[in-house]
Structure 1
Amino acid sequence: SLLYKLKAYDPDGDPLTFGLRSSPGSDVIVVESTSNTEANVYLNKLLDREEQDEYALVLTLTDGRLGIGNYVTQSLLLLVEDVNDNAPVFKSHQNSIMLREDAPPGVIAQLEATDADEGPYGQVLYHPGNDVDRTLFSVSTVGEVAVVRLIGTLDYETQTVHQLKVLAVDRAKEGRVNTGTAIILVKVEDVEDQPPEFLKITPIARVVENSPIGTMVLQVKAVDGDRGINNKVVYSIEPSDGAFKIEKDTGRVVTGELLDREALPLGSSSYVLRIIATEVGGKKRPPASAWTEVTILVTDVNDEAPRFKSTAYECEIAENAPQNTPVTFLGNSDPEVFDYDQGINGTFELYVKGTDVFEITPKRAINEAPFTIKVKNGTALDFEWTRNFNFTIVAREIVKINPKYTEVPIIVNVLDRNDNYPEFTKGSYEVWVAENCDIGTTVAWVQALDDDSGSFGTMGVRYTNLAGSISNL
């Protein structure tokens, strides 16, 4: 680069030679003659103000007649003007900081950067990097120092390490702006502020009724919610009535007794359990705990036979009752049958055994049903021939393998109705009466019989009329 133009004058008109006295730093420029009286000064190497900000140089001039080593001299002071060519550099600082997750807001670090440039180019302002969580941390300039503050609440379970980027930026108002960067790692120390966390849960499980005691049903797993502390977790169960137990160290839920699905409340075939995970060995009192609910469905096995609600039944029906007339159940008997197994295991058929005079409805039912016994053959209902019928009703499962069944006895009493006429023992009676017998003398004894019972039968026969040619006697 051309720095300067030199011009000299010699009264004698001799040609002039321009030069540079050798001295430390004099190689920064070169002098080149352009004519007998003129020369240019050029920059010979790159300048760095931060290494040397000025050069004191001596220019020489001769016409060749002054003798060897004799010159006319002229001082040249070369001042190096600053440009913004240096970035701020942070001084040595702590690269990592450990903070408890419950640390209060406050100053956590102070950093300082320097810039070798002058003026605004060498003055520094501090800012947080773009990726700094500004809800947790702030960076501000206090004098010549960067002050880093914690302004939010740390959470070990959300993030264990935060990387803070602090920027040092010079105050250049135009042109190039230089930036220096410092990195601080903020490591979060866990504290006991989280309950256990369930990692493995089976919300719904199934177990077959009558399973052996100790049968595994499900398993849960929980860990300390404070991952950096990792206290041991033990398990308990509610209700602890004995149906199910839990192994406190493994979280295995097993049967504690033989289960009977039919013994559960009507319409329910499940247990709802609360499993509690509790930390042990920690400092927190009471110990941290968490719970979850699981539902255990007890699945059916065919262990119930159809059962009638009464062990025997006594009924009555009038003789000559037409077909489909229902019998009347006597006493406190309950005409109902039940089987509390599920699905096909609880489906059964009903039928009559031992007579074809009666039938039962319905023919098939599921779980529970009232039943009716009806007349199938009304012509067989004759009190005078049969006063009662003894037979059996059966409830039998429809499963093909080892169906269970129950039988109960039935007595149906036939009620008498006035369906027979009185009949005399003889079609005609021949008697002899002595003349002149006294009034009131019995002259004949007649009898009529009736096959019906009680007042409908012989006991209720009344003799009302006496007719014929001598009825007046």
Structure 2
Amino acid sequence: HLHSDLGSRFPLEAAQDLDIGSNTVQAYSISPENEYFSVAYRSRSEDDKYIELVLEKPLDREEQSEMSFSVIAVDGGSPPRTGTTEVKIVILDVNDNPPIFTQERYFGKVLENMPEGSVVLTVLARDQDAGVYGEISYQLSHALGQSDSAFVIDPITGEIKTTKPLDFEAAQSHELRVSATDGGGLSAICKVLVEVVDVNDNAPEVVVSSFSSPLPENTAPGTVVALFTVRDRDSGANGKISCGLEDQLFFSLRPAYKNYYELVTVSALDREETARYILRVTAADAGSPPLTSTQTFTVDISDVNDNAPVFNQTSYTMYVRENNVPTVFVGAVSAADADVGLNGKVSYSLAAVQAAEGPWCSCVSVNSENGHVFVLRPLDYERLRQAEVTVSASDAGSPPLRANVSVRLVVLDENDNAPLVLYPGQDSSPASSELVPVSAEAGYLITKVVAVDADSGQNSWLSYHLLRASEPGLFTVGVHSGEVRLRRPVTERDSVRQKLLVLVRDNGKPPLSATAAVSALLLKDLSDVRLPGHSSPAPEDQAGSLTTYLIIALVCVSLLFLVSTALFVARKVCKRKELKAGHVLYGADNLQSGLADGAAAGSLPRAYCYEISLTTGSGNSEFKFLKPILPSVPPQIEVVRFSRREK
């Protein structure tokens, strides 16, 4: 085993030869010859002789780790004899070779999202030495300023692994230094460049520079609401960003400069339609798959006074009963304003304009806060049946907006007027009596009670009832017409003078009533009674003769009474007095002025006039009843009007 420098000597045992003298060993040689060793024969004394192998050339174990050759000893005899010995040279290693990396620079790529412990690459260094001198261990060192915590190397295998996920955005590459050291302390260094491959692991970012909210609803289109920028830490397509706005009719996005965008209005806003807009801006990169981020803008719309109050009805009709208590509530108007705050605060007032449809009523008041309508004083249906006012609703904006509405106040009638009897007259003047022939049949019309009621509706529906009568079974009164008729024919037992009391009652609740007194005179013979107001007056030349005949008839009757028995005379006398006190027939000139007024107002039926007509030249003195008074009367019949005064 050799381990020496150039010129080193390695002694060998000398060959033994029993001969002596010149026949002993004379020389040594190597066979086959080699360039590394030579043999030298030396003698320290006659008895101490030895040979040496001399190293002529440095050995290189890495080229040839061992060699064999023969050393031949030759004596001096003739023929010479030789002796041979085999020499095996084992070359021992020395650490004369440092480790050598297979590459001066190693390049590796790793995805930034690779998990911890992922193998980036493997370095390899070789050492031609053997044994411990050829055993290599690897160490990792980092370039100046770079962290050493991201990678680790296996000292035996040379595998470089990650200790944590890499971040492309933090460092796009890493430069490492790897040293390989053998067992003898020799080392070598190589560089390792690790490139981090970007993956789309960063969503776009939206950074808002300015934002305006709330916006007045009268903001002009094109107003900038927000200014923002977008960015993505990824690179390449992973960092290429596009922005979009969800479907909007009132807002849009427009690029400003570089990565800046503006959010602007594109049309007029209306707070009453939409008071708040939720705008979502989406930024997306071009990675695969793409990553997105959303920025939300909440835009509130502030109110301006652009809406006038609106009444919930186009007009109002309210009702109040007459004779109401003062300050009575009759209804309410209501208006809504779509604005808010002071712009939507509504107050009410009476407009100072007169409605064209009816008289303006100063008795109406409206509450400014809630629109309640009140009637301030009692009303009389007979004087005011309806009134109309205009109510104005105004908001508190600047300038204020207003709206008007018509309020019709209808006065409801109450039964506060009793019926008024127009005929027969109920005043202090002497009452007239109706003439009824004793020959009249049942159903004969004696007279008609005429009455009116100042109320309206059912309060003015009148009904007629017989309250009292001298002969209750003789007369009947029409409930709805007021006509007084005979219920049965007149008999001899019936009194000549009949009195009736007719009750006129309205249909109110409670009902009011009035009474009408009617007098009737039952006559057997009406031939000597001149009746006024006849519709067929006699000629002037016949009027005197008719009067003369009547006087003669009266005188004859008087003489006849004188010569008759006392009872007969007394009876005749009584009958004569009754004949002289003829009834006043009702004519158009006897009606009260109230009747004419009522008829003019449309609340009275047609006026009735009753006549008794005597025609000249008629033997049976024909009577006419229920004949209306005509405007023009033919001058053929004389009409005589009688009246009597109650004593």
TM-score, structure 2 normalization: 0.53
Task: Provide the alpha-carbon RMSD of the alignment.
Answer: 4.4
Q: How far is 1:232 from its partner? A: 6.7
Distance 1:127 1:370 in 2: 90
Q: Which residue of 2 aligns with 1:408?
A: 516
The structure with the greater share of residues assigned to helix is 2
Q: 1:87 aligns with which of 203, 207, 213?
A: 203
Q: Which residue of 2 aligns with 1:11?
A: 128
Maintained 8 Å contact 1:319/1:382: no
1 or 2 for the larger relative contact order (CA 8 Å, sep ≥6)?
1
- 1:305 is aligned with what amino acid? A
Q: Which residue of 1 aligns with 2:147?
A: 25
Matches within 5 A, 1:390-469: 390-396=499-505, 403-412=511-520
Q: 1:152 aligns with which of 261, 264, 267?
A: 267
Task: Evaluate the alpha carbon distance shift between residue 253 and residue 78 of structure 1 in structure 2; reply closer, same or farther with a 3 A threshold.
Answer: same
Q: How far is 1:103 from its partner? A: 1.9
Distance 1:30 1:281 in 2: 76
Distance 2:433 2:206 in 1: 107
Task: Evaluate the alpha carbon distance shift between residue 378 and residue 339 of structure 1 in structure 2; reply closer, same or farther with a 3 A threshold.
Answer: farther
Task: Evaluate the alpha carbon distance shift between residue 7 and residue 289 of structure 1 in structure 2; reply closer, same or farther with a 3 A threshold.
Answer: same
Distance 1:149 1:380 in 2: 111
Distance 1:314 1:118 in 2: 127
Distance 2:463 2:445 in 1: 22
Q: 1:374 aligns with which of 485, 499, 516?
A: 485
Distance 2:286 2:434 in 1: 112
Distance 2:525 2:378 in 1: 57
Q: Which residue of 2 aligns with 1:104?
A: 220
Q: Which residue of 2 aligns with 1:439?
A: none
Q: Where does the alignment leave 5 or more consecutive residues of structure 2 unmatched?
A: 1-117, 426-431, 528-556, 561-575, 580-612, 621-647
Maintained 8 Å contact 2:244/2:282: yes
Q: 1:359 aligns with which of 471, 476, 490?
A: 476
Matches within 5 A, 1:189-208: 189-197=302-310, 205-208=318-321
Note if 1:249 corresponds to 2:406: no
Q: How far is 1:319 from its partner? A: 3.4
Distance 1:102 1:20 in 2: 69
Matches within 5 A, 1:35-434: 38-65=157-184, 67=185, 70-108=186-224, 109-129=226-246, 134-141=248-255, 144-172=259-287, 174-181=288-295, 183-197=296-310, 205-220=318-333, 222=335, 225-230=338-343, 233-236=347-350, 239=355, 241-242=360-361, 244-247=363-366, 249-250=368-369, 251-263=371-383, 273-279=389-395, 282-283=398-399, 288-294=401-407, 296=409, 298-310=411-423, 312=425, 317-327=436-446, 335=450, 337-338=452-453, 340=455, 350-355=465-470, 356=472, 357-362=474-479, 369-380=480-491, 386=496, 389-396=498-505, 403-412=511-520
Distance 2:194 2:383 in 1: 108
Maintained 8 Å contact 1:87/1:180: no
Task: Evaluate the alpha carbon distance shift between residue 47 and residue 381 of structure 1 in structure 2; reply closer, same or farther with a 3 A threshold.
Answer: farther
Q: How far is 1:398 from its partner? A: 7.1
Q: How far is 1:272 from its partner? A: 6.0
Q: Where does the alignment leave 5 or more consecutive residues of structure 1 unmatched?
A: 363-368, 427-450, 462-473
Per-residue deviation, residues 157-181 of structure 1 (Å, max 9, x unmatched): 3444433332222222x22413141
Q: Which residue of 2 aligns with 1:443?
A: none
- 1:39 is aligned with what amino acid? G
Distance 2:413 2:270 in 1: 49
Distance 1:243 1:314 in 2: 51
Task: Evaluate the alpha carbon distance shift between residue 187 and residue 350 of structure 1 in structure 2; reply closer, same or farther with a 3 A threshold.
Answer: same
Maintained 8 Å contact 1:86/1:178: no
Distance 2:175 2:407 in 1: 91
Distance 1:112 1:328 in 2: 107
Per-residue deviation, residues 2-47 of structure 1 (Å, max 9, x unmatched): 211333433334222122124422321111156xxx4322111121
> SS of the counterpart of 1:254?
strand
- 2:488 is aligned with what amino acid? N
> SS of the counterpart of 2:477?
strand
- 2:176 is aligned with what amino acid? L
- In the comparison of the two structures, how many residue pairs are matched? 404
Q: How far is 1:247 from its partner? A: 4.1
Maintained 8 Å contact 1:57/1:75: yes
TM-score, structure 1 normalization: 0.70
Structure of greater Rg = 2
Per-residue deviation, residues 341-366 of structure 1 (Å, max 9, x unmatched): 6668967552243343321112xxxx
